[in-house]
Structure 1
Amino acid sequence: MKTSFRKYGRLKGQDLCEITLTNDVGMEVKLLNYGATLESLTLAGVNMVLTLPKSEDYHQERNYLGGTIGRICGRIAKGEWKHGNEVTHLPLNEGENHVHGGLGIDTDVWNFQLQADETSARAVFTIVDYAGHNGFPGNLKVKVTYRLDSQNNLDYKIEALSDQMTIFNPANHTYFTLGKRGADLMMKVAADYYLPVDGAGIPTDGMHPVAGTPFDFRKSRIIGDALAEEDEQLKLRNGFDHPFILNGEKIAAKLESHHFGLEFTTDAPAVVIYTGNHFDHSGICRDFGQYDAVTLEAQYPPVGDHNLQAITLLAGEKFERNCRYHFYQK
């Protein structure tokens, strides 16, 4: 097991570094301390995720590729959090709503430390998001650990602690391809229900059964076939951009191409599946088109009201979220 890093620039008075984790069977993971980002993941010479051409590209334009998104991944309706008799107003950065933490922690330079032994190679990232940043209360310390082992498991853990009551619902935002176009992948999701959303991506009517809809991935099927179905929800978001409520099976989701597979496990109650609907070969992501990749964003499902108890973190309460990405060759 091996770790290394290289400095590639400076931002906000801090060094920008690319970290490499390599296991004993040749799988290589590249990470950035900009946004605690998963930059690339290579198995048998094939990159499994969407990656920009250069490390320097990631901070030129916000793109969410592989980033640790927070304090919130997803949307807060009208940017309002009602707690008791108080209302916290967050910046409205997507129409009438707050999305992805404002100018969130995926745009910050994190501290990092590398560790390697006989069983794993690890990178540990830490940051303090200070009270008032993006309108959030509480000084919040966040720790993200990436751990690669020799069985081609990449573990991803987020831990956090705040000195005041706040809200926190982060997720990793890697776009998976398994060396193919996302729409061509087979996908299976252990979810009997999903959350319909309105045109702005806010849930509107609680859980709906996936049965009889394009959202039924209880058996593996090609993503593109589901995208081609006539469905008002798909039209509203130009594809999949919806929370799936996980039913507790060990493998929460599975992706497969002709040659590779990914088994995804998590202790989160939901996964937001997004099919890169906005990619249009423009900007810093000019190499990517619509439906070129798919995300598996493990988090609490977003809600349409302003009572955000599920994502409320009390002062001194420890937050922990665990994900495992197991890659294999077919």
Structure 2
Amino acid sequence: MKVSETIIGQVHGKEVVAYTLTNPNGISLTAMTYGATITELLMPDKNGKTENVILAMDSLDDYVTHRPYYGATIGRVAGRITKGAFDLDGTAHQVVVNEGGNQLHGGPTGLDTLVWDAEVQASADEASIHFTTIDEDGANGYPGTLSVTVSYTLTSDSEWKITYRATTDQATLFNPTNHVYFNLSGDINKPILQHDLQLNSAAFAELGDENLPSGALLPAEGTPFDFRSGGKLSVAAEGSHPQTRKVAGFDHPFLLQHDEGQPDAILSDTESGRSVKMFTDQDCVVIFMHNGAVDKYTIAGSPVIQYAGITLETQALPDAVNQEGFGDITLHPDEVYSAETIYKFEVQN
């Protein structure tokens, strides 16, 4: 395994360092200390052509200015919190809102906006970047000083492992994710609608007003949300289901049915031969298809088209603190939060 590092700029008066891990199969992963963000994932296709298969900004300044969440570590709480309000152990809390009247992805200065510390470890079989940060008590309105470690490991078997670990000195909320967008074609100007998705999920969370969960988990069977037998992503953009029409595609949480030893999801692109298998210990994956075009910034010099990429954001169900039956995302001082997601990259000829 090979490891290299480059200083790419400064944010908040701190140097931002990008680390690149490369395995013997021609796959390399680059991640930077700003936001513990993955900025490049190079992968060969079935013809041996190597391309970046994730969405990434053209410069560090673009990440800071536009905050697109591409590849970033999201938290303390991924997704939306209704009105930025919740009750925690009998105490009412109000966090900072940043999307209308709600909080999105941890607030205006979430974990994706911090410059993390980092250490690198490498052996013959794998290499890891261990990102660490302290999110201070009161940051974005959250109680408790939160200590977080996020590790990215690239293996010789072409797995990207993401592991999370966190502790707190006061009861708080923690539900992180990584917001990487895949486009397995390797071409930012080619939409992901012809990608195939297989997903081990029989239910999805309904979206209500302001794209907040309504609290209902709906059966996927007979809807565009049923990918248990696989299907094209185009069904979400072309269908007439009120939930896909509401957001021009998917921006939905899917409840996962874990089968031991089996991937929770498989995303593949027939033309390039590339595929990624996802394994996670989390309850849910939020799937978002970059449902709108963007012209205020570019990727590789081009405006960002509609359906430029797809996220598979593993996490607890969004707004769990306000939705009965969505699980518990409270972290107490005597607990250690831990979670893992693995993306395994393969090429079929």
TM-score (normalised: structure 1): 0.96
- Paired residues of 2:321 and 2:328 also in contact (CA < 8 A): no
Q: Which amino acid aligns with 1:158?
A: Y
Distance 1:34 1:257 in 2: 30
Deviation at 1:280, TM superposition (A): 2.6
Match of 1:204 among 186, 197, 214: 214
Task: Work out whether residues 147 and 168 of structure 2, in 8 Å CA contact, stay in contact via their aligned partners in 1.
Answer: yes
Runs in 1 of length 4+ with deviation above 4 angstroms? Answer: none
Q: What does 1:63-142 correspond to in 2, within 5 Å?
A: 63-102=68-107, 103-142=109-148
Larger mean Cα displacement after TM superposition, 57-66 or 266-275: 57-66
1:264 and 2:269 matched: no
Of 237, 241, 258, the residue aligned with 2:251 is 241
| Paired residues, number | 330
1:118 shift after superposition: 1.0
- Distance in 2, matches of 1:318 and 1:293, equals 33
In 2, Cα distance between the equivalents of 1:257 and 1:287? 22
Question: Which moves more between the two structures, 302-311 or 83-92?
Answer: 302-311
Contact 1:3 1:19 in 2 (8 A): yes
Residue number in structure 1 paired with 2:23: 23
In the alignment, the residues of structure 2 paired with residue 55 and residue 20 of structure 1 have an alpha-carbon distance, to the nearest angstrom, of 16
CA distance in 1, matches of 2:293, 2:131: 29
Contact 1:170 1:299 in 2 (8 A): yes
Write the deviation string for residues 240-293 of structure 1: whole angstroms up to 9, x where unpaired. Answer: 000000011231111000210000000000000001113333335663111111
Q: Is the 8 A contact 2:36 2:72 kept in 1?
A: yes
Counterpart Cα distance in 1 of 2:154 and 2:92: 42
Q: What's the offset of the Cα at 1:235?
A: 1.9
Give 2:337's aligned amino acid: F
What residue number does 1:13 align with? 13
Of 10-19 and 282-291, the range deviating more from structure 2: 282-291
Paired residues for 1:1-330 under 5 Å:
1-44=1-44, 45-102=50-107, 103-179=109-185, 181-249=191-259, 250-258=262-270, 259-283=273-297, 287-303=303-319, 306=322, 310-330=328-348
- SS of the counterpart of 1:155? strand
Secondary structure of 2:227 counterpart? coil
- Displacement of 1:305 in angstroms is 6.4
Q: Which amino acid aligns with 1:219?
A: S
Give CA-to-partner distance per residue, 1:128-149, whole Å, 9 cap, x none.
Answer: 0000010000000110100011
What SS does the aligned partner of 1:144 have?
strand
Residue identity matched to 1:115: Q
Q: Distance in 2 between matches of 1:233 and 1:181?
A: 21
Amino acid at match of 2:315: Q
Q: Distance in 2 between matches of 1:91 and 1:41?
A: 33
Letter in 2 for 1:65: Y
Task: Check whether the contact 1:113–1:124 (CA below 8 A) recurs between aligned residues.
Answer: yes
State the AA in 1 paired with 2:36.
A
SS across alignment from 1:60? helix
1:167-225 per-position Cα deviation (integer Å, ceiling 9, x unaligned): 01110000011125222210111000001111312111421100011111111111013
CA distance in 2 between partners of 1:316 and 1:73 (Å): 23
* SS of corresponding position for 2:235: helix
Taking the aligned partners of 1:205 and 1:164, their CA distance within structure 2 comes to 27
User: What is the DSSP-based 3-state SS (H/G/I as helix, E as strand, rest coil) of the residue aligned with 1:219?
Assistant: coil
Change beyond 3 A, Cα 1:23–1:215:
same
Contact 2:74 2:106 in 1 (8 A): yes
Matching residue's letter, 1:300: A
Deviation at 1:226, TM superposition (A): 3.1
CA 1:114–1:227 in structure 2 vs 1: closer, same or farther (change >3 Å)? same
Structure 2 Cα separation of the partners of residues 304 and 284 of structure 1: 34
Q: Which moved more, 1:282-291 or 1:71-80?
A: 282-291
CA contact 1:199–1:237 (8 Å) conserved in 2 = no
Q: In structure 2, list runs of 5 or more residues that go unmatched.
A: 45-49
Q: Which runs of 5+ in 1 are unaligned?
A: none
Range that drifts further, 139-148 or 298-307: 298-307
Per the alignment, in what secondary structure is the counterpart of residue 59 of structure 1?
A: helix
Q: Counterparts of 1:128 and 1:177 in 2: how far apart (Å)?
A: 32
